[in-house]
Amino acid sequence: MKLLKRVLDMSKILFEELIKEIRTISEIYRDKRILITSHISPDPDSLASALGLAYLLHKKDLSNLCLLIRDGVDESGRKIFEMMKKIGIIDLCKDVVEGILFVVDTNSCERIGDVDCSIFKKIIFIDHHILELKNDVSKDQRFIYYVDEDSSSSTEIITKILLHENALPDSKEILNILLAGILYDTGFATNVSRDTDNIIRILVSRGADLSETVKILRRDLRYDEKIARIKAMMRTRSFRTYDRRIICVTTVGSHEALASSL
């Protein structure tokens, strides 16, 4: 309980303002379509935060939701995308219509693809990247920004909000997806915020499975990736330092940089 309280206290203002906005939307714009989108080629963090937000809105009795994806999903997020379709909380948008637009994991209309932001009544950005506003955009009253640069990922922000509203899902699949979004954007918890470790512990304690989550993020290597790795291993030279450390060096072409993930 102390762990949860610490996480919630640190982002109290963000939570209160965003929840207030969501409640306003649920009261005033209940008959409007609510679209959730992200940057082009959404990755695991984008998809996980979109799912978490959709779950929260669904709990607020907002059912007229759809997920707007342009130009497909990034290869890293395909397993999550397939899981989302089976979970069924939010369907893909069949068309872009006037309504409310939530944008996660980016804070710019320019990064969401071929979407005309001018048709929406209100646009709410939820992101963890540095906010860079253009003068003309900052004056647009329809644009509302909730940017928490202290969070490691957009999924972390959404998870904090779910905790704040006592709305964390019971579904193991959704918990695994939330955990996957955080792990992906933090390089498997190597680049974390002050709250990330606590959030991960909470998700696991509520039912998220770390080994299953890793499988969600794991993908089969493409043929060109396999060849690049084989070349890198064949060209490897090793050296031992005076303090008995071993350094390995290899050479590959610039188009074979995928070998660096060995």
In a domain, 222, yes or no: no
End-to-end distance of the chain based on CA atoms, in angstroms? Answer: 40
State how many domains the chain has. 2
Condensed to tens digits (0 to 9), the pLDDT of residues 17-62 reads: 777 887 787 777 777 889 999 999 999 999 999 999 999 999 888 8
Q: What percent of the chain has pLDDT over 90?
A: 46
To the question of pTM greater than 0.85 for the whole model, the response is no
Rounded distance, CA 228 to CA 179, Å? 30
In a domain, 248, yes or no: yes
The DSSP 8-state label assigned to residue 130 in this structure reads P
**Who contacts 19 (Cβ-Cβ below 8 Å, separation ≥6)?**
161, 164, 165
Is 195 found in the same domain as 105? yes
β partners of residue 145: 125
Is 242 found in the same domain as 207? no
The per-residue pLDDT for 262 is: 58
The per-residue pLDDT for 5 is: 44
Neighbour tally for 62: CB within 10 Å: 18
The per-residue pLDDT for 78 is: 93
Is 125 found in the same domain as 161? yes
Residue 92: pLDDT band with limits 50, 70, 90:
very high
Is 255 found in the same domain as 197? no
The per-residue pLDDT for 206 is: 96
Is 235 found in the same domain as 141? no
201 phi, psi to nearest 5 deg? -60, -40
Q: Domain containing 134: what range?
A: 2-217
Nearest to 69 by CA among 98, 100, 103: 103
Is 183 found in the same domain as 94? yes
User: Which is higher by pLDDT, 104 or 7?
Assistant: 104
In a domain, 12, yes or no: yes
Q: Which two three-digit tokens encode residue 212? A: 């299953």
The per-residue pLDDT for 85 is: 94
Is 231 found in the same domain as 113? no
CA dihedral 10, 130, 38, 57 (to 10 degrees): 20
The per-residue pLDDT for 226 is: 84
Q: Which two three-digit tokens encode residue 54? A: 């959709």
Is 233 found in the same domain as 116? no
Rounded distance, CA 123 to CA 138, Å? 12
Instruction: Tell me which amino acid residue 121 is.
Output: K
Is 168 found in the same domain as 57? yes
Q: What percent of the chain has pLDDT over 70?
A: 90
Is 141 found in the same domain as 63? yes
Q: What is the mean pLDDT of residues 74-81?
A: 92
The per-residue pLDDT for 133 is: 61
Rounded distance, CA 218 to CA 44, Å? 11
Is 257 found in the same domain as 139? no
Looking up residue 67, the CATH number of its domain turns out to be 3.90.1640.10
Rounded distance, CA 61 to CA 48, Å? 20
User: Which is higher by pLDDT, 159 or 97?
Assistant: 159
The per-residue pLDDT for 8 is: 43
In a domain, 249, yes or no: yes
Is 213 found in the same domain as 234? no
Condensed to tens digits (0 to 9), the pLDDT of residues 144-190 reads: 888 888 889 999 999 998 998 899 999 999 999 999 999 998 988 88
144 phi, psi to nearest 5 deg? -125, 130
